[in-house]
Amino acid sequence: MSNPTVDLILNHHSVRHYASRKIEPEIISTLVKCAQAAATSHYVQPYSIVSVTDPEIQNQLAAIAGQKHIPNAAHIFVFVADFNRHNSFINASDDIFANAENLLVAAIDCALAAQNLTLAAESYGIGCCYLGSLRNDCRKVAELLNLPKLTFPLFGIACGYPEGDRATKKPRLPEQEVHYENRYDSSNRAENLAKYDQEIKEYYESRNSRQRIESWTGMMRDFLSKEVRKEIREILREQKMLD
Ligand X SMILES: Cc1cc2nc3c(=O)[nH]c(=O)nc-3n(C[C@H](O)[C@H](O)[C@H](O)COP(=O)(O)O)c2cc1C
Which is nearer to ligand X, 87 or 109 (by Cβ)?
109
Q: Which amino acid is at 183?
A: R
Of 97 and 155, the one with the shorter C-beta distance to ligand X is 155
**Closer residue to ligand X in complex, CB, 170/185:** 170
Query: Could you say whether residue 66 binds ligand X (CB under 6 A)?
Result: no
Indicate the residue among 61 and 242 with the shorter CB distance to ligand X. Answer: 61
Residue of 9, 53, 54, 132 interacting with ligand X (CB under 6 A): 132
Q: Are 114 and 203 in contact (CB under 8 A)?
A: no
Question: Is residue 14 at the binding interface for ligand X, with CB under 6 A as the rule?
Answer: yes
13 binds ligand X (CB under 6 A): yes
Answer positive or negative: Cα dihedral of 193, 201, 125, 127. Answer: positive
**Number of chain positions touching ligand X (CB under 6 A):** 13
Interacting residue with ligand X among 21, 170, 189, 229 (CB under 6 A): 170
Answer for which of 130, 161, 165, 238 binds ligand X (CB under 6 A) is: 130
Identify which of residues 23 and 131 has a Cβ nearer to ligand X in the complex: 131
Q: Please say whether the beta carbons of 150 and 83 come within 8 A.
A: yes
Span 135-164, contacts to ligand X by CB under 6 A: 155
| Residues 210, 83: Cα–Cα separation, whole Å | 43
> Which of these ranges, 53-61, 72-80, 124-132, 222-230, lies near ligand X under the rule CB under 6 A?
124-132
Verify binding: residue 129, ligand X, rule CB under 6 A: yes
Question: What residues numbered 221-240 form the site for ligand X, per CB under 6 A?
Answer: none
Q: How many CB atoms lie under 10 A from the CB of residue 74?
A: 18
State the residues that interact with ligand X by CB under 6 A: 12-14, 65, 67, 129-133, 155, 167, 170
